[in-house]
Structure 1
Amino acid sequence: MSVNVPSPQRQNTGSSPKPASAVVSRPRVRYPVTIMELLHHAFEIGASDLHIGASMPPLFRVDGELKEGPFPLLTGDHTELLLSEVVSQENRSRLLEEKELDIGFDLPGRCRLRGNVFFEQGRWAGVFRIIPPFIRTLDELGAPKIFKAMMKRHKGMILFTGPTGSGKSTSLAAMIDYINRLKNIHILTIEDPVEFIHNPVKARITHRELGKDTLSFSEGLKRALRQDPDVILVGEMRDLETIQLAIMAAETGHLVLSTLHTSSAAKSIHRIIDVFPTDQQSQIRMTLSENLIAIIAQSLVPHSTGTGRVAAYEIMVNTSAVANLIREEKVFQIPSVIETQSQFGMISMDQSLMKLVETGSISVKEALLRATETKIMRDRLIKMGYIENPQTLQQDGISDTLKSGDN
């Protein structure tokens, strides 16, 4: 954006002031590299995200941590010029009006990206997620075997939960890939934006993107029921109408997969039920208990080697015991059921973390920092000989976590 330079203060000499048209726009200095070059660098170093913002250098998230690259500081002019390279004129108008914009595009020859461009202190900023160029299979991800069993169901709802960057999209893509190779069916995805592009193997796959192909998740879901889908992937259940329509789709004979930004199965159930008016919650508990297949809470933990990350899971399968707890408003008891019913494929987050410690995949420190019941986890690790000297926890900065109680 051009900024007019004010005329310098000067003494009155009797001469006429310069007309406004004589005020000159300050030229903007371009950044040494383009946004595409920054994205290529992010891909080459294995970053998951690129952050662009004024008064800082470009930042790259590698193995969960933000790191600076070999690039100079960005100014407000730099960020606008860089981000304008990937924001069309139509989207620019939308960005200026709504102050934020979701976009998706290809990095030629490398990968797809999803981005969010927004304003920060009145200046352009953006974050871009690098989407792996190849869809990894469930076997390549080392996913629990029960994931395949879930995808063989003909109807119901499977939810993945966890914070942004926890691998939900990657796991969902692997599950869609699995059923794509297994069945002659119609798979419909509604995303914001479309992330992984699936090439048809046995299934017909329809990718729909918000803003480009449909106006909203709820609108796309309404129309989806008339498009003869067998499997529906909803990128995110953001609001009451989307949640309601997703449950209805599962109830009427479709396999529905979606995500929530919650940290556990129990919290996900509360989130779904609480979004409905009080007088509808009893009916939703009943419907959810009958149509839910599973909720998987996922977290990515740094590998003990210092390179890469490994997934830890909480898996809740909707057994008759779980369904009864949902109907009877006893969701708070679900964590206990998860811990004691591993024969159905269930596992708690702490049990998953413990297994990763036992296999040497993650460190004791990372397990304790991510544990749901930190003190119980510590006692188990001490009992199993993984912590010989509890005093070392203080050196690792974990003692404060233990004093403050459970995470």
Structure 2
Amino acid sequence: MKRGLKMGVNEAVFSEILANAVEQGASDIFISAEVPVYWRRAGQLEPLLEYTASSDDIAGLFSVVADENVKKQFSFCREVDFTWSDDNARFRIHLYSRLGKPAFAIRVLAGGLPCLAGLGQAGRARDFLGYESGLFLVTGATGAGKTTTVAAMLAEYNNSRDYHILTLEDPVEYTYPSGRCLFSQQELGKDFLDYRQGIISAMRENPDVIMISELRDVGACEAALSAASSGHYVIATMHTGGAVETVERFISMVDSSRQRLAQSMLAASLRGICSQKLISGSGYEQYCVAEILHTNNAVKNIIRSGKYEQLTSVMQSGGNWGMQTMEMGEERFRKAVCAS
């Protein structure tokens, strides 16, 4: 295409943009009316100035990607999340309203299942595969790779354990092939109506592992804690920063009258936290660095007492346990880059 030549975004152009995004390593594509299409590579937002969608283009794309159920949800809520596939790849689409018209935030989902060995420091999540009960949290900002880390853990189980794994997701992003595990994947809005009730129902379905794609509210946190305390192994994500912020947020979401009980239950059930973020390297490569907390007696006492800020010093001195702060993870990354 000649530089400076602008064109709309019909179905054929839409497919072209998605194919280019997959080929060039973009993680996200943003399409809305009367502004250029944007995509994000290596964390950097870039305009694709040759593509500008009209209002009619947006309406046409809406018809292409949305089935009747999605259209009904969008009509009621003005936003909806779902997955969609074409010949190029699988995508997670967040459909929302901008100036009264639908717009798209599209996440490119990696082809195939990820492997823990390829996730940088997040690969340390392998240390948390051996538990039969309790709670393991994977945290970080949007786009930090939380879903990828959890999917790699479940793929590892599928190769090595005879487990029933039940997932509660919004939407289902990765699907798992037949292996050693039985997967019961459930999607919000289709198979369960809210995370709290979904978790309660999951405990009746005899899973070995319950995976929760996001702990969003007090009901979900309390139900996850109950499941972890009753002998299930719960793996969940949260949109929080490091370990200190994660524990503070988890407890603060519980009603003040029950926070002491929640502290005691979390101290007994928490197995660890992997807080991660992506750092841009050379070209368009990104690397995952992580803060790792393993729960030992010191961590349990800190959570019970509510002195969460002391978790930082435990991680700083907990190298023998496999712990590190985010600053330690970033320093390891810098040293590795210099050594190479």
Task: Confirm or deny that 1:350 pairs with 2:312.
Answer: no
Greater CA deviation, 353-362 or 177-186? 353-362
Deviation, structure 1 residue 182: 1.2
Specify which structure has the higher proportion of strand. 2
Deviation, structure 1 residue 76: 2.4
Distance 1:188 1:334 in 2: 31
Choose from 273, 279, 282 the match for 2:260.
282
Structure-2 residue corresponding to 1:138: 116
8 Å contact from structure 1 (residues 147, 175) kept in 2: yes
Choose from 80, 89, 103 the match for 2:82.
103
Per-residue deviation, residues 62-103 of structure 1 (Å, max 9, x unmatched): 111122336422222222222221112332232122111111
Structure-2 residue corresponding to 1:85: 64
Distance 1:145 1:235 in 2: 18
Distance 2:26 2:50 in 1: 15
Task: Confirm or deny that 1:292 pairs with 2:292.
Answer: no
Distance 1:175 1:351 in 2: 23
8 Å contact from structure 2 (residues 291, 324) kept in 1: yes
Tell me the amino acid that sits aligned with residue 314 of structure 1.
E
Structure-1 residue corresponding to 2:245: 267
Deviation, structure 1 residue 56: 1.5
Runs of 4 or more consecutive aligned structure 1 residues displaced over 6 Å after TM superposition: none
Task: Confirm or deny that 1:218 pairs with 2:196.
Answer: yes
- SS of corresponding position for 1:149: helix
Distance 1:37 1:193 in 2: 24
Cα 1:87/1:145, change in 2 over 3 Å: closer
Count of residue pairs the alignment pairs up? 333
- SS of corresponding position for 1:154: coil
Deviation, structure 1 residue 143: 4.1
Task: Confirm or deny that 1:40 pairs with 2:19.
Answer: yes
Deviation, structure 1 residue 356: 0.8
Cα 1:32/1:206, change in 2 over 3 Å: closer
Tell me the amino acid that sits aligned with residue 323 of structure 1.
K
Structure-2 residue corresponding to 1:258: 236
Per-residue deviation, residues 258-305 of structure 1 (Å, max 9, x unmatched): 1111111111111111111111000000000000001111000001x2
Choose from 145, 148, 151 the match for 1:173.
151
Cα 1:224/1:359, change in 2 over 3 Å: same
Cα 1:58/1:147, change in 2 over 3 Å: same
Cα 1:199/1:39, change in 2 over 3 Å: same
Distance 1:30 1:315 in 2: 44
Structural mapping, 1:118-137, within 5 Å: 118-137=96-115
The structure with more radius of gyration:
1
8 Å contact from structure 2 (residues 125, 274) kept in 1: no
Distance 2:206 2:16 in 1: 42
TM-score (norm 2): 0.93
Cα 1:30/1:277, change in 2 over 3 Å: closer
Distance 1:350 1:74 in 2: 42
Task: Confirm or deny that 1:315 pairs with 2:292.
Answer: yes
Specify which structure has the higher proportion of helix. 2
RMSD of Structure 2 on Structure 1 (CA): 1.9
8 Å contact from structure 1 (residues 91, 101) kept in 2: yes
Deviation, structure 1 residue 144: 5.8
Cα 1:37/1:166, change in 2 over 3 Å: same
| Greater RCO (CA < 8 Å, at least 6 residues apart) | 2
Tell me the amino acid that sits aligned with residue 17 of structure 2.
L
Distance 1:197 1:205 in 2: 9
Distance 1:256 1:312 in 2: 23
Q: Which runs of 5+ in 2 are unaligned?
A: 1-7
Choose from 301, 314, 327 the match for 1:337.
314
Structure-1 residue corresponding to 2:10: 31
Cα 1:79/1:257, change in 2 over 3 Å: same
Distance 2:116 2:317 in 1: 25
- SS of corresponding position for 1:85: helix
Tell me the amino acid that sits aligned with residue 350 of structure 1.
E
Task: Confirm or deny that 1:244 pairs with 2:222.
Answer: yes
8 Å contact from structure 2 (residues 276, 290) kept in 1: yes
